[in-house]
Structure 1
Amino acid sequence: MKYIFPSIFFLFFQCLSLNAQFSKKSQDYQKFQGFFDYYNDDSKDRIFLEVPELEKEFLYVYSLSSGIGSNDIGLDRGQLGNEQVVYFKKAGNKLLLVQPNLRYRALTENTLERKSVEQAFAKSVLFGFKIEEETNGRYIIDITDFLMRDAHGVAARLKRAKQGNYTLDKSRSALALERTRAFPKNLEFDFTLTFKGEPQGAYIRSVTPNPALVTVAQHHSFIALPDADYNERAFDPRSGSYPFSYYDYATPVEEPIVKRYITRHRLEKKDPGAAVSEAVEPIVYYLDNGTPEPVRSALLEGGKWWNQAFEAIGFKNAFQLKMLPDDADPLDVRYNVIQWVHRSTRGWSYGSSITDPRTGEIIKGHVSLGSLRIRQDFMIAQALMNQPFGERDDNNQPMLDMALARIRQLSAHEIGHTLGFAHNFAASTNDRASVMDYPHPDINLKQGTLDFSKAYDTGIGVWDKVAVAYSYSHFPEGTDEQEALNKILDDARQTGLRYISDQDARPAGSAHVLGHLWDNGSSAAEELEEVLDIRKLAITNFSAENIRSYQPYTVLEDVFVPLYFFHRYQTEATAKVVGGLDYNYAVRGDRQGIWKTVDKGRQSKALASLLKTLDADEIAIP
């Protein structure tokens, strides 16, 4: 017994000594105050986080602030990783960063019932941190190793792409202090990461000065979760919205255990009783200030189309698009961003979001637009037009006008994804009813010449207004919301609008007669006939004057390729009519037809049109 008390006092004073050591050292550290306070020890390249409260959930997101630049590898600047609800939990001399399993829940006041579900399914401990200091329930931990790791899976992506085996080289990695910031509701950390390895593929060699050393920048965000005032809205497969779901084991037996809601931004009227009202907080997007003109103006114009849909449901200036401030970080969660992304080869543009995994509320929309897209669209126009450089080499405006029209539509399309909307690949059969379709240029043949004036649409589509109405409509108090939502969709059906998304349009074996990519027209076969006529005329007109003076004649091949395959996607659409089906995302009681086969006459017409594409006169190059 006589040895116990000295031991206890020794441990107590040792802890005080350690705490005093950090407190004394921290006076020389740079302190950042925000959602969490943290310290930067510049002399040793360490970041210390102060945790004021245990087991309080927040959102953790990782992303790439600087990418590799290869579409084939797929690690782009601004690429978001997965969002994760996490919390700190004390375990001995550590704080564990725990990710709860939100896919399985029990939404009940019964604590033991909630606990039984929590214990039934696995959690994930993302990291363990040694406690450097504890004072009055506040903990200091060193988070440097957590931040300086391959959270985004860069090495794994390079390996899957068969570009080589790489590992993180910490000696060539460091904190990027200029992009590390603290705000009241979010922290933003940025690290330069270098991966060392033996390059094996051509892709990585083409985009790095030294393919044995690949350096990117990885971003980490700690974000305060939104308050509990967000109202979830039920998902309907007819709505055009993205679903969000989880299992609720506290659900009564007679009700579905799987809960399905839509993802959307929070949008509320300042005056709930007014037919037209401004929003409490409008949805504001910001365009990358590195975007050049005239692309900048086109993206701003196209993106602002969405406000037409919000005006249609009684919101005034609810959707806005501005330029990103010069001192803002595109990955800062406070900004919905449209980012202009460069790659070595042309690839997809895409819209991503950071959502609250508890509710599906969109916290940040993030659009990535590939900068080479407009150059491809310019070349398509260059191929279609009759001797564009016949008289002068600076006759760029006709092609540029068509390319910019496409970029306006692209801006609206990708923003639409970040507002919560899926593709509608049947919209082209409804007179281009949605910007969420993939648009093929709609060229018209008039008196032996090609008319490009309506190549792309110039505003939001009628289906887009339906999707916005379903997701964002505010209903007066006392309204039966489910009944009101059903009416929106029933009214759309009665006007002939159709909705078919990726799973029934994109696969090569898909059979839906209306679900096509890059097509036009209500009749695939009739449109194919017209496209073939347009293609034939453009090929007849094609000459050396489709390229500029003193360009190599080999450039003619590059320009000719999109013209030669101009009918490609309309051919695919027509092929799906043969043996095709027509069906809806029907629900019981909505009076939609569920499915039917395509009638014989329509199939025969499609087959006849298809056979023309195999005719030697059609496929021969003059």
Structure 2
Amino acid sequence: MKYWIGKLFICVLLIYSWLIGTNSAVANQLANIDMSQLPTHPVWENMFIDNRKEDLRLFREIVRGTEKLPGLFTLYRHHEDGSIYLELTPEQLNKNYLATVTLESGLGESGIYSGLPLSDFLFYFRRVNNNLHFVIRNVKFRTDPGEPEQRSLARSFSDSVLYAIEIDTINPHSKNILIRLDRLLMQDLPGLTPLLKYSLQADYRLELSKSYFDDVKSFPENLEIDSIYGFYSYDGSNLVTLPDSRALSLKVHYSFSQLQEHNGYIPRIADDRVGYFITAFQDFSSDRHSEPFVRYINRWHLEPTDPTAPLSPPKQPIVFWIENAVPLEYRDAIREGALMWNKAFAKAGFSNAIEVRQMPDDADWHPADVRYNTIRWFNSLDAGFAKGPMRVNPFTGEILDADIIVDAGMVRSIQQEYLTLMDGNASQNPCGDIGEKAGGKNAIIMPPSEICYGKDSLDQAAMGALALSLLQNNTPNSEAMKEYVHQYLRSVIAHEVGHTLGLRHNFHGSTMLAPQELNNTEITHTKGLVGSVMDYLPVNIAPQGEQQGDYFPGVVGPYDEWAIEYGYKRSPQPEAEKSFLEQIALASPQPELSYATDEDIWDINPLANLWDMSSDVLMYSQWQMDNARLMWERLDRRYLPKGESYSNLRVLFNRVFRYYFRNATLVSQYIGGQSFRRVHAGNDTSWAFVPVSLEKQRQALTNLQDYVFAADALKFSPQLLNQLAPSRWQHWGNPIPNDRLDYPLHDRIFRFQSRILRSLLSSDRLNRLQDIELKTPPGEALTIPELFDTLQKGIWTEIFTPDKAQPISSIRRSLQREHLNILLEMMLQHTHATEDGRTLAWYELRQLQTAIDKQLQQKSENLDISTVAHLELSRDRINKAFNAQLLSN
């Protein structure tokens, strides 16, 4: 049997020798070889030595004349044609590496911004025949090494093979593999084509003839590559920042680094009471636990220099570099914002855990280099946000790198007093704004919460600057305004640095102090203005008659210190870390440690919201609406300097309008509101849900009537309204709205009132009110009948008052028609209202019908034609609806 196998092998060798051109003499010798002598036969050795020589010649030919770049991966670069070859050793195959991909140059609009992170992932190279596979590692499912389950995981869940790259040659001596790098990095690895299609709503294709490698640097533990990608679209897009929108170029920075898998880092288990980003995987090594997932918090690897000391500097601090592109006047605020967190780390046992350094102007490293954590500055036409992403070890949750990007527009919008960057239409705006239409596209690649954070943060900052000017008579170039900008930027950086430390949002963080304490700097400079800087914080504007305190926090809050303690404090006994962490988490019921994050925001908790402030948001929002009314008055009197365009007044009027609306919305959330806390059983006597008191809900309804629905809630002088001129500059970056030339006051007020009213009568809120009746003692809950009756009598005051009939203004008629529309939709089952809601809508319509009849029967001479027509049409619609309901039944 062995003999025939040997003969078959000789046949294969003969065919191979013919294919590679081996001479006939060698072929004849092969045919007569004794099988037992094959491994050591000279013909065998000579043939494969010739092949090795050929492979070596090819390897040397490829790298001849190149610049060799040794490092983590050795590169060979041809400067004549720009081609780059990547060399891999056998030891580098099947080994984990981390890729971080950053958009280094952007377009300055529509979500394509410089410095944005594109992706980060774990990958490895695998050789299959004459191809090198580029594979994304699946880290979602794991088991303990050596467990039988480990054999099934590879069969059950797949890795992702992104590319199969042809191997150019293999060094016969070292067995090193050589491939062309463009076969990997010029295939749109970052996914720019679908990104451009989504953001720009146009089909751009990658053109290799316009794409090339720029800077390439290889280091012992990382490889840094800049790739330039050229794109073309026959139709182009609606971009104003490009000279010709059919063609664009983007620079992408790649950092490929070695993953340190055995560096002494110990993963830390997450707790839902403390807000950290997490690394989660499903563990198949045991079925004894009810929860199949393991969750580690994302955090840096901090080790004390002296483990026995209560306060010790870390062996390796977290170092942030301020990019050399940051303007000089803002560097101190950025430095202070990052260093604010050292107060929290001190509570966790680390002194000077964070350091901030300045990137030299002649630095020989790139801000996107994975070895450096940077705070970067970029410019855009429409972004107005800051973002603090981080890269983590997907096995352990260890944070490896972080880069914060800040749009210059966040500061520019404050200093340019009249500037508004995003005065968008509500139908296009994912944040639900009520301002005027600005035109143009606003596609953003970020999640809606981040879009809104950037836009609303700009609004808050601009409102504070406007308050400084209108309420305190400060000029844009005053020292007070410079200090204000400093406080704002410092707070923004502190928030983003918090993200890079692993912390999630805490939308309960702004409710620590009572309203009367907010401007007491003896409290705010020590304890803090807020419980957590990880909230979306509004500008703190003092009510009239009170001394202004801090506009934005200057120190981190108690929650921030507690969260850092959970994440970073060293357990004295590593084997007992679980009980150590539980003791820290047990403090969560303390009010100043309350935590609510993105998934907890469902218009249910009036103290866990975006852009709210104080432990009594009802009072604080009333203060701010009073401030807004005063600002409108002062805009009316004397705000614009001589020679200034009236179009700037229109922008400022809208800005105050948005601020007023936002605070009214916060008041509305008290109706049917409930607090929600992430308490665990056994460590607290309070409940997870606690309904808002009946007294607070009634007060909220009164405030909404006074500030939103009342006839005199929104009144402006003719002089002010006649000064609200539009901008007449029409060019790129400054489109003129396509709606009315004059200010559409009725439309703005109606949209504002309608949104509040429909929210109050939504099916979700009615369902909550119904449920809360079962959660509270009798007589202590706001009932649906009381809500319906209070709103109807407040909105239709003119016909429910016992006095003589009075005319109804056009603003009121619009509100009343909308209220009627809502009740009719409920009764006729055009909405998802509860059955009780439909029944009460029917009842309220009966009451309204009777009141209208009585009003019209009086035939008062005070009723103008518009009022009579409005009331008769309303009565007619109610009658027809009742008839339609009878017919349907």
**TM-score bracket relative to the smaller structure:** over 0.9
8 Å contact kept, 1:104–1:117: yes
Aligned residue in 2 for 1:349? 386
Q: In 2, distance between residues paired with 1:388 and 1:429? A: 25
Higher-Rg structure is 2
8 Å contact kept, 2:544–2:627: no
Shift of the 23–554 alpha-carbon distance from structure 1 to 2, 3 Å rule, reads: same
Given the alignment, which residue of 285, 308, 319 partners 1:284?
A: 319
Aligned-residue RMSD, C-alpha: 2.3
Is 1:121 matched up with 2:157? yes
Is 1:590 matched up with 2:683? yes
Aligned residue in 2 for 1:385? 468
1:264-279 superposed matches below 5 A: 264-279=299-314
1:199-348 superposed matches below 5 A: 199=235, 201-202=237-238, 205-228=239-262, 229-254=264-289, 256-326=291-361, 327=363, 328-348=365-385
8 Å contact kept, 2:273–2:588: no
Q: In 2, distance between residues paired with 1:388 and 1:145? A: 62
1:78-117 superposed matches below 5 A: 78-110=115-147, 113-117=149-153
Aligned residue in 1 for 2:674? 581
8 Å contact kept, 1:101–1:118: no
Given the alignment, which residue of 599, 602, 607 partners 1:514?
A: 607
Q: In 2, distance between residues paired with 1:105 and 1:584? A: 32
Structure possessing the higher relative contact order (Cα contacts under 8 Å, 6 or more residues apart): 1
> 2:159 is aligned with what amino acid?
K
Given the alignment, which residue of 188, 194, 204 partners 1:166?
A: 204
Given the alignment, which residue of 607, 611, 614 partners 2:705?
A: 611
**How far does residue 492 in structure 1 lie from its aligned partner after superposition?**
4.3
1:40-189 superposed matches below 5 A: 40-52=77-89, 53=91, 54-70=93-109, 73-110=110-147, 113-135=149-171, 136-177=174-215, 180-189=216-225
> 2:140 is aligned with what amino acid?
R
8 Å contact kept, 1:520–1:527: yes
Aligned residue in 1 for 2:825? none
**How far does residue 158 in structure 1 lie from its aligned partner after superposition?**
2.3
Q: In 1, distance between residues paired with 2:16 and 2:132? A: 28
1:459-608 superposed matches below 5 A: 459-477=555-573, 480-494=576-590, 496-505=592-601, 509-542=602-635, 546-547=639-640, 549-591=642-684, 592-608=686-702
| SS of equivalent to 2:586 | helix
| SS of equivalent to 2:168 | strand
Q: In 2, distance between residues paired with 1:453 and 1:99? A: 52
**How far does residue 452 in structure 1 lie from its aligned partner after superposition?**
4.0
Q: In 2, distance between residues paired with 1:559 and 1:404? A: 22
Shift of the 478–24 alpha-carbon distance from structure 1 to 2, 3 Å rule, reads: closer
Q: In 2, distance between residues paired with 1:249 and 1:394? A: 61
> 1:215 is aligned with what amino acid?
S
| SS of equivalent to 2:632 | helix
| Identical pairs, percent | 27
TM-score (norm 2): 0.66
8 Å contact kept, 1:520–1:570: no
Aligned residue in 1 for 2:4? none
Is 1:361 matched up with 2:444? no
Whose helix proportion is higher, 1 or 2?
2
**How far does residue 366 in structure 1 lie from its aligned partner after superposition?**
1.4
Q: In 2, distance between residues paired with 1:498 and 1:524? A: 16
Aligned residue in 1 for 2:716? 621
**How far does residue 451 in structure 1 lie from its aligned partner after superposition?**
4.5
8 Å contact kept, 2:311–2:350: yes
Gaps of 5+ in 2: 1-9, 23-46, 416-461, 514-529, 718-889
**How far does residue 94 in structure 1 lie from its aligned partner after superposition?**
1.1
Given the alignment, which residue of 515, 528, 541 partners 1:443?
A: 541
| SS of equivalent to 2:307 | coil
**How far does residue 216 in structure 1 lie from its aligned partner after superposition?**
0.8
> 2:17 is aligned with what amino acid?
P
Q: In 1, distance between residues paired with 2:581 and 2:661? A: 38
**How far does residue 227 in structure 1 lie from its aligned partner after superposition?**
3.2
1:412-427 superposed matches below 5 A: 412-427=494-509
8 Å contact kept, 2:105–2:250: yes
| SS of equivalent to 2:85 | strand
**How far does residue 156 in structure 1 lie from its aligned partner after superposition?**
1.2
| SS of equivalent to 1:260 | strand
8 Å contact kept, 1:350–1:368: yes
**How far does residue 426 in structure 1 lie from its aligned partner after superposition?**
0.7
Number of residue pairs matched? Answer: 609
Whose strand proportion is higher, 1 or 2?
1
Stretches (4+) displaced over 6 A: 388-391
TM-score (norm 1): 0.93
> 2:702 is aligned with what amino acid?
A
Q: In 2, distance between residues paired with 1:237 and 1:124? A: 31
